[in-house]
Amino acid sequence: MYRAVIEDLRRWKQSANRKPLILQGARQVGKTYILKEFGRLEYAQTVHVSFDRDEKARQFFNEGGSAERLIRLLSAHTETDITPADTLIILDEIQECPAALEALKYFQEEMPQYHIVVAGSLLGISLHGNASFPVGKVDMMRMFPMTYEEFLVALGKHNLLKTLQEQDWDIINTLSDNYIDLLRQYYYVGGMPEAVLAYSEGRGLQEVRQIQERILSAYRYDFSKHAPANEVPRINMVWDSIPAQLAKDNKKFIYGALKKGARATQYEDAIQWLIDAGLVYKVNRVSDIKMPLKFYEDFSAFKLFTLDVGLMGAMVGAPSSLVLIGNDIFKEYKGAFTELFVYTQLATMGMPVYYHSVDNSTIEIDFAIQMGEAVYPVEVKAEVNLQSKSLKTFMESHPELKALRLSMQNHIDQGWVENLPLFAFKEALKARQVE
């Protein structure tokens, strides 16, 4: 299946200053698949070593030695002549061999001509643990679940995606029913590649849900296997609470919703573990929406989002009839699915994303984003109803800004606010990034 990250990998390959590449991302987002596909498409041969299964390879790196020695050992071990420009070396599940992570420094210093990529499902945990990180000696890249646009490609909807990319709003508005129907499907299937593949092959909604449940079970297994034993109950509590926290009118994360009397100091490590594992995104509040947003960041208030809308549907047992047929999915759970969808798409764009609220006030702006030299207040509406007291009040005191509203309504620019359809907003923002 096509993944947009392969274009980033191609740019990495062509870079004159290329360093060993670390590809981060949660379990099951498709890191191994895309690296093998990258090797198949761009190199004469690929050497793939997975440290969770290959004890001999772990031994090579644990014993140490020069980069030249390690290349020679890998070549003999895999029975492959490793040549600099023709061979892609993939070191997988590198968190199982911290010595291999440290060795990237020597590959960069001693043998930069070799093309080396590494990946790991829990690499973020290792980087915040005892692993020695090769600062300044590696390139970094992040991989996410499949986006709505990648979902369209997987279903063979190439022309619909091309229309979104061309930004012809008259045509897009005419086809809105098609896009909304596909958005419903994405809400149910989500972006985990195994689930998308099953759905694209027509294997049925129940199999999709079973795949999602297996992935969720694997995550819980990771909690118990890799997290400190005393943190596991708290990690489970935080993870389980996220759907309910997002279903509140005020989606700010509340520690008291976990347990009566719960305090931040008791759960901060659990939250950070989930973030490091790539399973949860943390969106901090800003006290105002001005350039640069980072200056107005407030670390005491935040929202938590799971990594995928389809997985959240599985977590809460959302029935397929509600998601795919009924008209209520866009307003059920007080827009939790919609806001999660928007954030998971924004997360792939590499821009600063926050939210804004005012203490002792009903004013809350769902997201604040920064693109280039501009900042935008972003309101997310789960339905066609565009009434927005918070946004209107906020904009009256910030007339220098232009707001974005993401909803099920067709595109319309009202001057102070531009409405972008939920299914088209990412391509619209990408077009602005290029300008």
Say yes or no: 373 and 314 in one domain. Answer: yes
Q: Which domain holds residue 81?
A: 5-142
For the chain, give the percent of residues with pLDDT over 90: 85
Say yes or no: 56 and 168 in one domain. Answer: no
Q: Which amino acid is at 378?
A: V
CA nearest 295: which of 350, 349, 352? Answer: 352
Examine the pLDDT at 19 and tell me if it is beyond 90. yes
Give the end of a domain, one of 120, 142, 164. Answer: 142
Examine the pLDDT at 133 and tell me if it is beyond 90. no
CA pair distance 201, 356, nearest whole angstrom: 41
Say yes or no: 235 and 310 in one domain. Answer: yes
Q: What is the DSSP code (8-state) at residue 327?
A: S
Say yes or no: 135 and 159 in one domain. Answer: no
pLDDT in tens, 302-349: 999 999 999 999 999 988 876 776 555 545 565 889 999 999 999 999
List the beta bridge partners of residue 365: 356
Say yes or no: 408 and 346 in one domain. Answer: yes
Between the CA of residue 91 and those of 88, 104, 174, 253, 264, what are the distances in Å? 10, 10, 47, 37, 37
Give the number of domains in the chain: 2
Say yes or no: 204 and 274 in one domain. Answer: yes
Say yes or no: 123 and 171 in one domain. Answer: no
pLDDT in tens, 339-386: 999 999 999 999 999 999 988 778 899 999 999 899 999 999 987 767
Tokens coding 63: 């014993």
CA pair distance 104, 160, nearest whole angstrom: 42
pLDDT in tens, 208-257: 999 999 999 999 999 999 999 999 999 999 999 999 999 888 899 999 99
For the chain, give the percent of residues with pLDDT over 70: 95
Beta strands in 55-135 (DSSP E): 87-92, 115-119
Say yes or no: 289 and 240 in one domain. Answer: yes
CA nearest 238: which of 190, 186, 302? Answer: 302
Say yes or no: 313 and 369 in one domain. Answer: yes
Sheet of strand 403-407, all strands in order from the earlier edge strand to the far edge: 297-306, 280-286, 353-357, 364-371, 374-380, 403-407, 417-421, 412-413
Q: Could you give the maximum distance between any two Cα atoms of the chain, in Å? A: 69
